[in-house]
Amino acid sequence: MTNSKIRKDLVLFFFCLLSSLTNGASSELESIPIIFPSGIDGQHIWVGILAENGSDQSIRWSYVDTLPFSVEFSRNKIPFKMVVLKRDAVPIVESLSPDLIPDGISVEFSKGSSVTGKIVTGKAGLPISEGLVSVQFDETLDIPLPEGNPVFTWDLDEHGAFEIRGLPLGEHTVSVRAQGYMPSEQQVIVEFVGQTQELQFTLSKAEYIHGHIIDYKYRSRVKGSFEVSVSPAESQTTEIKTEFDNNRYFTLGPFAEGASIKLDAKTEDELRSRTIEVSVPTEKLTIYVHRWIRVKGTVQAEDTGEPISEFTFVTGRRQDEKTSIFDVNGQFNVEICDEFRIVSIHAPGYSFWASEEIEFERNDDDEVNLGVIELEKVYVVRGLVVDQETQMPIQGARVFRNDIIEHSRRTTYIAIWNSGEVQTTTNADGEFNLTGIPSKGSQISVSAHEYLGQSQTVMDVNLPIKFELVPPVSVSGQVVSLTGEPVAAMVDLLGYSGKRTEDGNFHFNVTAGTWRFQALADSGSSNVLEVTVESGQEVEDVRLVIENVGRVYGTLKGLLENETARLSVKGVFGSTVHNVSNGNFELTGLSSSGSYLVSCNTNFGRELTETVYIDESLEGNINLNLTGGSSLSGRVVAGADGLAGYEIQAQPDSSLQPVVRTRSQRDGSYRLRGLVDGRYRIEIPSRDFTQQIVVQGDTQVDLPLSANRLWGKVRSAGPVEGAEVLLKRHTNDQETIFWTEVTRDGSYRINNVPSGTYTVQVTHPGYREVTQEVDVEYERVELNLHLEEVNRDLTD
């Protein structure tokens, strides 16, 4: 649609609006004639009147298309101002008074001043022929314009040129808009009548950022809003808008082509992204939003207890999110996101420290206090690396701290950092100075080309340490079947590493000593073979025979839609198979007859264990049936709030039925599928939560975590450790049961009990059963109970 067509439509709209306002005028209306001595010449002319004293900020506009013309108004309310607008003429603003009513107002237009100009593209300087130029008058002149009025807009010609006429004295704003380009505006000052000025507009192409926002924890697309910073700031000449489609794919913009944009995304549930920087245009941008929590603590020296005032707080998958801390008290308070659950501290002269995983699903506040962190002082260890046989120095050997890794994410994190940061190389004399070793107990490793690595434990940092490296000893061989054919397999050097061979051949470099090898193939496994080698010896023709060809085969049934299983024979290394569907399966690697346990774990959290017997033929058949089509669903809640990320276990009464596990989602919802109708013990281990629930079909039960607590003592003449305390309630045909065991000192505690009236039952062999009702209506309810031996009368 052309700009002239738009303008004609707008004219017609305002004409219709005027007609609707003037039709049906009553005799209570007065009018002032508006006289145009020079006629209107078919031009667009608008007349607006403003109520008395300007109390009514709206202006009633009329379109002049025929003469004579008059402005109507209420007889008892004469307008105080009139505005007359004509294209290419100076706007006229007149004050109105009662004495003007009889004779009317004569209007003569003047040409005023003019502005010419040209619009071109930013890069190539090509003319832009499709667009509109408009004028906003000097605010001090108080010249209002009707909404959408085309009187003061001008089209561009084919060369991108325009001409504006009829400008009054004052400072005015000339604006340019063109489809696909960023709008632009310039100020023009008219100082005298008849003045002519020329403007040049260079428009940047309007571009957008497209992408989606991802909830980092659940890997799901979400909607959100953006905080945007544009550089250069002056390139942003229009409002920034965000739109999401049905697939939650966003469009953000417009921006000037080539602009640098900093983005922060956030969602309604207070997830935020880290600041990212992109250039425009950008397609398929992925922005992760996270849960954030503040971490605080105090860092001090382990040996003196004095605060460490200068250190670096580190997070990030590559330890690249660093915050420098300078605090005389050694204190820090830093915000982190859920992408990095381990934080670390690095201070010069001290050992690297890392936290355990930080729990983000917290109910009390958004802050974690790590307390006092004590850092161990580190020292410089001197040493020498030589060839064991010749005692010649080895230059360029890598020397690094190599702590023994315990099986935890924290210690692994620390060990990896130490091995990468606490390292050096030997000089031409084979000497090294390694900085970053604690006083004792740390391990230093050395690796060098054409030598086997070596490690030693530092017992005294003041004593130099010597490494004598030896060239490797070669062990090679082949994996074969019982008939001597080469077999593709994984060859494991037990306790160290493994290598995959497709043609059956393998080779390892080791030191002198005794080594243990085993091969794992699809058809089975070899026995463990010990190989003893001496210094300088090459061992060849080692044969690993796949002779453990026993197998378990059978059929798996009962998997639900989109459910898969992992099957394995317990205690048989290499027997595990993954992503098993309903149907036949086979597990290999068994070496002898006997009874074995076959375990089945599904991605829906169901677990099943069955016993199979392997006969002398080294084969055993078993059918695994994951029965159950019922489900248990609801929400893990604290009051009205859903709690995310909690593991929920459904323990059946029968050991023949599978245990089912799941985790609560972002809104606290959970669903345990594949259950068999019957009683289950529902547990949330991290919150010490236990509840008995009867499942029948699709059962819905909410699990309250921040409800009441029932506690107390169970007393008797003798020990009552192991006594069971059951808490029961029947509501809406649903039985709720909590239970716990009495500790050695006779105490018990049941957490997360919803408010209500319950029956308490205490049982123990050798004592009479005690039953009592209790109202649990407060956060902490104490109830002490007394047990009597069976041969005594029960007394309260």
Taking only the tens place, the pLDDT of each residue in 289-318 is 988 888 899 999 988 889 999 999 988 666
pLDDT band, very low/low/confident/very high, at 704 (cuts 50, 70, 90): confident
* Residue 146 pLDDT: 74
Q: Which CATH architecture has domain 292-375?
A: Sandwich (2.60)
Measuring CA to CA, which residue among 751, 752, 748 is closest to residue 761? Answer: 748
Mean pLDDT on 460-488: 90
Residues of the chain with CATH 2.60.40.10: 113-203, 206-289, 292-375, 550-625, 708-786
The model's pLDDT over 546-587, given as tens digits with 9 standing for 90+, comes to 887 788 889 998 888 778 888 988 877 667 777 888 889 988
pLDDT band, very low/low/confident/very high, at 23 (cuts 50, 70, 90): very low
The model's pLDDT over 233-290, given as tens digits with 9 standing for 90+, comes to 999 999 999 999 988 899 999 999 999 999 999 998 889 998 999 999 999 999 999 8
Residue 21 has pLDDT above 60, yes or no: no
* Residue 149 pLDDT: 63
* Residue 56 pLDDT: 46
Residue 15 has pLDDT above 50, yes or no: no
The model's pLDDT over 56-114, given as tens digits with 9 standing for 90+, comes to 456 778 888 888 888 777 767 767 788 888 888 899 888 877 777 777 888 888 888 99
CATH topology of domain 379-469: Immunoglobulin-like (2.60.40)
pTM for this structure?
0.52
Q: Which CATH architecture has domain 550-625?
A: Sandwich (2.60)
* Residue 177 pLDDT: 93
The model's pLDDT over 604-629, given as tens digits with 9 standing for 90+, comes to 778 888 888 888 778 889 998 887 77
Residues of the chain with CATH 2.60.40.1120: 379-469, 473-548, 630-704
For the chain, give the number of residues.
Answer: 796
Both tokens of 415, joined, read 């060990």
Mean pLDDT on 528-535: 87
Residue 495 has pLDDT above 50, yes or no: yes
- Give me the chain's average pLDDT, please: 84
* Residue 447 pLDDT: 92
Whether residue 109 contacts residue 39, with contact meaning beta carbons closer than 8 Å, is answered with no
Q: What share of the chain is helix, strand, coil (3-state, %, to 5)?
A: 5, 55, 40
pLDDT band, very low/low/confident/very high, at 782 (cuts 50, 70, 90): confident
* Residue 67 pLDDT: 82
Residue 361 has pLDDT above 80, yes or no: no
What is the homologous superfamily of the domain 473-548 according to CATH? Carboxypeptidase-like, regulatory domain (2.60.40.1120)
Q: What is the dihedral of CA 369, 318, 458, 347, to 10 degrees?
A: -50
The SS3 of residue 23 is coil
* Residue 240 pLDDT: 95
* Residue 483 pLDDT: 85
Q: What is the dihedral of CA 631, 635, 636, 637, to 10 degrees?
A: -160
* Residue 668 pLDDT: 82
Exposed e or buried b per residue across 705-740, where buried means at least 16 C-beta atoms within 10 angstroms of its C-beta: bebbebbbbbebeeebeebebbbebeeeeeebbbbb
What is the homologous superfamily of the domain 206-289 according to CATH? Immunoglobulins (2.60.40.10)
CATH topology of domain 630-704: Immunoglobulin-like (2.60.40)
- 113-203 is classed CATH 2.60.40.10: yes
Neighbouring C-alpha atoms within 13 Å toward the C-beta of 729: 16
Share of the chain above pLDDT 90, in %: 32
pLDDT band, very low/low/confident/very high, at 322 (cuts 50, 70, 90): confident
pLDDT band, very low/low/confident/very high, at 341 (cuts 50, 70, 90): confident
* Residue 707 pLDDT: 61
pLDDT band, very low/low/confident/very high, at 181 (cuts 50, 70, 90): very high
Mean pLDDT on 382-394: 94
The model's pLDDT over 716-756, given as tens digits with 9 standing for 90+, comes to 877 788 788 888 877 666 666 777 888 888 888 887 677 77
CATH code for the part of the protein at 708-786: 2.60.40.10
